[in-house]
Amino acid sequence: MKKIFYVLVLLLHSLYSVVVFADGVVVDKVYHPHVLPNEKEVEWRLLSHQTDKSNDLAQRFAYGQSVLDNVMVEFYIVGERDIDGNFGLSAYEIETRWMLTEQGQYWADWGMLFEFEKEHNKDSWEVTSGLLFEKEIGRTSLSINALLIYEWGNDIQNELEMEFRAQYRYRWRPQFQPAIELYSGEDYVGIGPAFMGIQRFDRQKQLKWELGFITGLNGESKDHILRAAIEFEF
């Protein structure tokens, strides 16, 4: 237990130490480094961000498949609600996850994430690269994402950013696993509970779900983010 406590303290310290390098809200999915051979998936994500000044809503729809036994490629379309309350297409993304080590092969599991994003009808581009880490500690799992992001274009300020995400999960049973999540970026640090599960079917078919409620610690009197995701693998 002492080791787990020290890890959580170190993570919280890291959140505040990297906050000066990035901007915007960084709450999204905490990625795991694992890739299954011949894996295919469809995915839906929702993010609702409420503050005293705004109520933003974004959704992602994706299809992905493994192109190698340890490499997964996923294509996203992103929709957001505008200031008039209309929901429309806002961006396109292509994402690659590379599993560097076999699950359980070493002390921890490692992977890499690469992502390219283009905003719809805007000269705004974004490239993300990052390190994915996961360590099983008894019946719990610690997952960490350290991401480096570069944005450029005529409709956005050129800048280099850093984001940090962490999830400490208790594997109570496959269908229900409670967790606590931490997120950091410039002007934003958030923490909150999350719940997730997996239901397996025949062969490689399985359904995953996630639900999290993150509270911002950045000084806003109201800063809440609801995130949800459903993923079907086959």
pLDDT at 1: 44
pLDDT at 100: 98
* Residue 13 clears pLDDT 60, i.e. is over it: no
Q: What is the pLDDT of residues 193-233, one digit of tens each?
A: 999 999 999 888 999 999 999 999 977 667 899 999 999 99
pTM of the model: 0.87
Domain 2-233 is classified in which CATH homologous superfamily?
monomeric porin ompg (2.40.160.40)
Tokens of 207: 């359904």
* Residue 114 clears pLDDT 50, i.e. is over it: yes
Tokens of 210: 């996630």
Start-to-end Cα distance in the chain: 37
Evaluated on CA atoms 194, 200, 201, 206, the torsion sign reads: positive
pLDDT at 25: 65
Across 130-134, average pLDDT: 98
Across 118-134, average pLDDT: 97
* Residue 133 clears pLDDT 70, i.e. is over it: yes
Percentage of residues in the chain having pLDDT higher than 70? 88
Q: What is the pLDDT of residues 153-192, one digit of tens each?
A: 999 999 999 999 999 999 999 999 999 999 998 778 999 9
Burial of 98 (0-12, 13-18, 19+ CB in 10 A): middle
What is the DSSP annotation of 116-151? EEEETTSS-EEEEEEEEEEEEETTEEEEEEEEEEEE
pLDDT at 52: 82
Burial of 164 (0-12, 13-18, 19+ CB in 10 A): buried
